[in-house]
């Protein structure tokens, strides 16, 4: 009887712990889905609300980094001067907890086919984009974004030439 009680208690703890982890992962994915919607809607106030005061955005190139205030201002400038429309197609999300090391924490990855329509007839591009978001206390504290900038420029008709 004693062993049965121990087994039931351990099983209950395992189910409860798993449910809490799954709930947290689902909650974090919801935060990123809502953030992506704010980007698509060009809603700068909402975008800002999802970013932690100490937010650090990195990428797409090695060495690129930006803080919260600069990130929101950059979006405002881009929408005023470059982008007419942004849409995430085939967007997929996954949550992972990294238990230790430099990137310890609760991360959500977003893989998407990103469609951007530029202003003034410049054209449109479709790129594969991958952004990984670190979530703490319901806010995005860090993001790492990867996409092929050269492919976007090629689709707009630019040609890359070696420097002389």
pLDDT tens, 3-54?
545 544 555 555 454 455 565 678 999 999 999 999 999 998 999 999 999 9
Write down the pLDDT at residue 20: 58
> Token pair of 151, please?
């492919």
Q: Is there a contact between 112 and 127 (Cβ–Cβ < 8 Å)?
A: no
pLDDT tens, 105-164?
999 999 999 999 999 999 999 999 999 999 999 999 999 999 999 999 999 999 988 988
End-to-end CA distance of the chain: 83
At the topology level, CATH places domain 2-155 in: Nuclear Transport Factor 2; Chain: A, (3.10.450)
| Ramachandran region, residue 63 (left: φ > 0; alpha: ψ -120 to 50; beta: rest) | left
Q: What is the pTM of this model?
A: 0.81
Q: Is there a contact between 78 and 47 (Cβ–Cβ < 8 Å)?
A: no
Q: How far apart are CA 10 and CA 38, in angstroms?
A: 42
Q: How far apart are CA 65 and CA 84, in angstroms?
A: 24
* Strand-strand pairing, 51-58 and 65-67: antiparallel
């Amino acid at each position: 009887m004693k062993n049965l009680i121990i087994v039931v208690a351990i099983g209950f703890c395992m189910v409860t712990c798993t449910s809490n982890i799954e709930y947290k992962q689902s909650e974090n994915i919801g935060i990123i889905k809502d953030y992506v919607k704010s980007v698509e809607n060009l809603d700068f106030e909402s975008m800002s609300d999802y970013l932690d005061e100490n937010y650090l955005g990195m990428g797409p190139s090695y060495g690129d980094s930006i803080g919260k205030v600069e990130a929101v201002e950059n979006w405002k400038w881009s929408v005023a001067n470059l982008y007419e429309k942004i849409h995430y197609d085939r967007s997929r999300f996954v949550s992972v907890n990294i238990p230790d090391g430099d990137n310890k924490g609760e991360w959500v990855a977003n893989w998407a086919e990103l469609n951007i329509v530029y202003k003034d007839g410049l054209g449109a591009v479709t790129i594969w984009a991958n952004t990984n978001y670190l979530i703490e206390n319901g806010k995005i504290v860090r993001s790492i974004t990867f996409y092929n900038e050269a492919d976007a420029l090629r689709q707009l008709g630019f040609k890359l030439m070696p420097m002389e």
